Structure formats: structure tokens, C-alpha cells
Chain A
């Protein structure tokens, strides 16, 4: 209990309270800034995806550039349940999460001995496999048009029904609860002894190995966990749009997620969420203003890499430390 009164703990607690207050009150302050609730929902889900990538990238030091694959599998899994099997939102989410997570576990086992640039290459290539399948297997996935129609189903909670299909605010809070669960799980893992071994691997793989940590096993576990989180985010995304898009599996989507994490600050837990907010706002604005918005995204990537590699939160932390 006495730990709570250390200045650092107090700062962290204050930041946490501020973040959650902002998130809980979003449907109220967003319209004041020209936003709308559905945008918030979208950003929240993409932020979760960015945090999932960062679980691997910022905290374990493993560069997966094909992570959108698990996002996409989650989306398609959820969509297919809702379209072909049962009109149940929770089942859709569960199915999507399991599908992506298990696929990730299998792939992870194949590639876990590789590192650095080669690892990234292989994750990109494998990600593309799933993109290709989504595109080609059009009888099931809808091909280029994507998977539709399916709709997120109202939740019957016993005492009341939450109409997440038609009520944007209700849906936002539903997604917020889902987000809270996932981010709590992530934080929990990162604080655990296992989470600390992830940090160890990031900091110095050789030393981790010579402490007795079976590095490949731990990387596989971290990889699999992040795939589960990613697929979970993907399932939510399918619900956001009532649609699953093959482009969501393309490596450029992976690149976007990585950029969100980097922009916000890879070493920080909330950095990727911040990065997602900035990225989505930027992208939406630019694509509404010009048809050649891709150039601007390209420049964003270049600028961040050259001038803001630590991301916003990273830069702030660095400033504070010195």
C-alpha cells in the first residue's frame, strides 16, 4: 500500500485515470471535435491491433511485418460464424480469436528460429498466403468483394438487450469493455515473470539464453499470444464494419499497424493506441482532401523513421529522463 504514495506510482495512476476517463467519455467529447462515435469505435479496435503488434515488437523485440494476417483471419472467422453458422456476436468473436490465434501458433513454430530481417520477410510472405487465400477462395470468403452480408447481433444479457447493431453508442461501450479486457490481460502478462523474460529477450537475447531462458520457446509463446490478441481485434473490426475485407490481410495493413506502434511509442504500453488515433485521423483527413493520399502516408512513414523513431511517448520520456 505504501507503494502507492511514491511519486512515480502516483503519476502512473493519474495517467491511467486520465486515459480511461477520456475513453469512457469519448461519445460525449468526440462530436465537439468534429468526430463521431463510430470513428471512436474504429480507432479503439485499430489501437488494440497496434497494441497487439507491439506486444511482440516493442516488448519482445520481435519484428513481425505480417501480423495483419491474424487480424484478417479473426475478421473472417467472426464474419463467417455470423453469416453461416449462428447469429451470436460472442460466438463470432470467440471463433475469430481462436482461428487467428491457432493459425499463428502453428506458423510461429515454423519460423521461430529466424531473426531480424529474415524473420520479417517470412512473416510478410506468410501473411500474403492468407491474403491470397481470402482473395481466391471467393466461394467462401467473397473474394475481392469481401465477406458480406453479416451483422453484429444484439446482445441478450438476461436483464436487458444491448442493441449494438443499431445503437452506435451502445456498440462503442461494448467494444470498450472488450478493449478493457484485452488490455488488462496484456498488462497482466507483461508484469508477470514471463513478461519479464520477454523484456530480457528484447534487451539482450544472448544474455537471456545464458541465463537459462529457452529463447525460441518464449518467443513462440509471445508470438502466439500476440496472434490471439490480434485475431480478437480483427473479430471486433469485422463487427465494426459488418464486413471483412481481404485488404485487411495485406502486408500494407501490417505496415500500418507497425507504424501506429512506432509513431505512438514502441516502448510504452499506451503508445500504440495514441499512434492509432493519430494515424487514423491523419489518413482520414488526407484521403478526404486528395486522391493521391498515398504519397502523404508514404511521407509520414519516412518522416517518422528519420525524425521520430522513438514515437511521441518515447520522445517525451526521453526528454523527461534527461
Chain B
């Protein structure tokens, strides 16, 4: 039983084919990495899965349900959450406030004009939990916009987590980070997979992270599917090596 089934999905922008007939099946609890040279269509692929665009062709099935026509917000309600390549958070609000909003929305309280004492406590509790899990406790009351890159990314991941998703999509979570921060985020992601039993799909360029975390890897090149398999299989795959080395030239 798969969690996510992407069936023959394509995306055309006029005459530009960004994603060309790609399929992917992800099992529950799996950590799948999507890699490929720049311009391979990875982010566009993500955008199709999360509803940022409609595909030109193909279907997206999540937990057995066809979500191809659903808006991004509805897909979130179905259990998908994502982070972006350029961190998307609420910059002028504090970490705590960012998380609070995520938790409230996830609890179905977004339209509430007031909160009972009990609900308020529950929400605060959940926010505290998330803050502790992220290691941002010391900075929880600072404006997110003023934090370091890595902390902003961690906040964003926590916000995605606050939504109680069953599928977490991370777009280049370690982009722009130094070694230490990369290590911390990698550990965080690993913890999420193991402890929260999340299914995770991530786009990454940093091969250390990919080979450290992934159960399976899918390789894209110029919008087309190139290869898929376990990390050892992919490492040995000649077509993959050519794609990467060819690009480097």
C-alpha cells in the first residue's frame, strides 16, 4: 500500500517541458531523496505534488485518494506538508508565534474568534513540544526574520511538522548551510522519520545528506526520469554518473 503515487505526470510551460512523464511511488515510512542536476525539474515536480501548479498530464494519488484537482490548502488538510527552497516563514513574528499559528490551523481553529482556557493550554503545550524538538528553545521569542538561515529552516520544518502531516516534502533543506548546520538539520530529519514515523520526500544537492538519510533515491535529468533505486544502486549507476559529470563540464 503506497502513501503517494505520482502517475505519469508532466508539466508544460508553453513549449518548455519542465517535467516529462514522471512516475513515483512512495511507501509509508520511507525516506525518498530526489536528486538531479540543476534544471532537472525537481522543484517543479514538488510543486505538482503539493498543488502549486496543475499538471499538464498525469494524476497524483495520496493515500488512495486522487488529489490532482485539489488546491494547496486542501492537500495540506489531506496530510501533506512542505518546506521551500527559499525559506517561507512569517518574518516579523517570533518563532513561538509562527508555530502557534501552524498548530492552531492544524487543530482546525483557524476561524475561531476565541479560545477556551483548555484549548489555549493544549495549543501552548504543543507549541512547547515542537520548540523543544527543534532545539530552538533559546530563540523562541525572537523574530524569525532575524535568525540565522539554519534556524529559519528549522522553524519552517517545525511548522510543517505542526500540521501533523503524513507526508513531509522538503525542498533542499540544507541549501546554503555550513557543515555544522547541515549536520544538525540532517539529524533533525532523521529523528523525524524515526520518532514521528513520517514519510519524507526530499530534494537535495548535498550527497552526504542524501546517502546518509535516504532509503531510496530517484534521479531526474532535464525533466525526465533517469533512475531509481537504493543508494548503492544509484551510486553504481553509470547513467547517473554521466548526467552529473556531464553537467559539471
Q: Which residues of A contact B (CB under 8 A)?
A: 188-189, 192-194, 196-197, 199-200, 203-204, 206-207, 209-215, 218, 221, 267
Cα distance A207–B102 when bound, in Å?
10
User: Per-position contact with A for B65-96: 1 when CB-CB < 8 Å, else 0?
Assistant: 00000011110110001101000111111000
In the complex the two chains form, is B114's CB within 8 Å of A211's CB?
no
Q: Does B234 contact A (CB under 8 A)?
A: no
Cα distance A193–B104 when bound, in Å?
7
In the complex the two chains form, is B104's CB within 8 Å of A196's CB?
yes
The distance from the CB of A221 to the nearest CB of chain B, in whole angstroms, is 8
| 9 nearest A-B residue pairs (beta carbon) | A212-B76, A203-B90, A207-B88, A193-B104, A193-B112, A193-B109, A192-B113, A214-B73, A200-B101
In the complex the two chains form, is B114's CB within 8 Å of A188's CB?
yes
Q: Does B115 contact A (CB under 8 A)?
A: yes
Chain A residue nearest in CB terms to B114: A192
The distance from the CB of B2 to the nearest CB of chain A, in whole angstroms, is 23
- Residues in A neighbouring B71, C-beta threshold 8 A: 214
Cα distance A43–B82 when bound, in Å?
47
Most B C-beta atoms less than 10 A away, residue of A194, A204, A207, A221: A207
Cα distance A114–B199 when bound, in Å?
36
Chain A residue nearest in CB terms to B77: A212
- Residues in B neighbouring A206, C-beta threshold 8 A: 84, 88
- Residues in A neighbouring B106, C-beta threshold 8 A: 211-212
Q: Does B163 contact A (CB under 8 A)?
A: yes
Q: List 8 A-B contacts (CB under 8 A).
A: A188-B114, A194-B112, A197-B105, A204-B91, A207-B156, A212-B77, A213-B105, A218-B110
The distance from the CB of B71 to the nearest CB of chain A, in whole angstroms, is 8
- Residues in B neighbouring A213, C-beta threshold 8 A: 73, 105, 110
Cα distance A192–B114 when bound, in Å?
5
Q: Which residues of B contact A (CB under 8 A)?
A: 50, 71-74, 76-77, 81-82, 84, 88-93, 97, 100-102, 104-106, 109-115, 156, 159, 163
- Main secondary structure on A side of the interface with B: helix
Q: Out of B73, B90, B112, which one reaches A192, CB within 8 Å?
A: B112
In the complex the two chains form, is A204's CB within 8 Å of B90's CB?
yes
Cα distance A127–B174 when bound, in Å?
48
> Given A212-B77, A214-B73, A199–B112 Cβ distance below 8 Å?
no
Cα distance A232–B214 when bound, in Å?
59
In the complex the two chains form, is A211's CB within 8 Å of B101's CB?
yes
Cα distance A22–B112 when bound, in Å?
33
Cα distance A211–B75 when bound, in Å?
10
In the complex the two chains form, is A200's CB within 8 Å of B90's CB?
yes
- Residues in B neighbouring A194, C-beta threshold 8 A: 110-113
Q: Out of B50, B74, B76, B89, which one reaches A204, CB within 8 Å?
A: B89
In the complex the two chains form, is A209's CB within 8 Å of B72's CB?
yes
In the complex the two chains form, is B112's CB within 8 Å of A211's CB?
no
The distance from the CB of A206 to the nearest CB of chain B, in whole angstroms, is 6
The distance from the CB of B28 to the nearest CB of chain A, in whole angstroms, is 21
- Residues in B neighbouring A221, C-beta threshold 8 A: 111
In the complex the two chains form, is A211's CB within 8 Å of B102's CB?
yes
The distance from the CB of B148 to the nearest CB of chain A, in whole angstroms, is 18
The distance from the CB of B52 to the nearest CB of chain A, in whole angstroms, is 8
Cα distance A12–B90 when bound, in Å?
23
Cα distance A196–B92 when bound, in Å?
13
In the complex the two chains form, is A199's CB within 8 Å of B105's CB?
no
Chain B residue nearest in CB terms to A214: B73
- Residues in A neighbouring B92, C-beta threshold 8 A: 203, 267
Q: Out of B72, B89, B113, which one reaches A189, CB within 8 Å?
A: B113
- Residues in B neighbouring A200, C-beta threshold 8 A: 90, 101
- Residues in A neighbouring B90, C-beta threshold 8 A: 199-200, 203-204, 207
Chain B residue nearest in CB terms to A195: B113
Q: Out of A189, A211, A218, which one reaches B159, CB within 8 Å?
A: A211
In the complex the two chains form, is A210's CB within 8 Å of B93's CB?
no
Cα distance A189–B88 when bound, in Å?
25
In the complex the two chains form, is B81's CB within 8 Å of A210's CB?
yes
Cα distance A238–B67 when bound, in Å?
52
In the complex the two chains form, is A188's CB within 8 Å of B113's CB?
yes
Cα distance A192–B116 when bound, in Å?
11
- Residues in A neighbouring B93, C-beta threshold 8 A: 199, 203
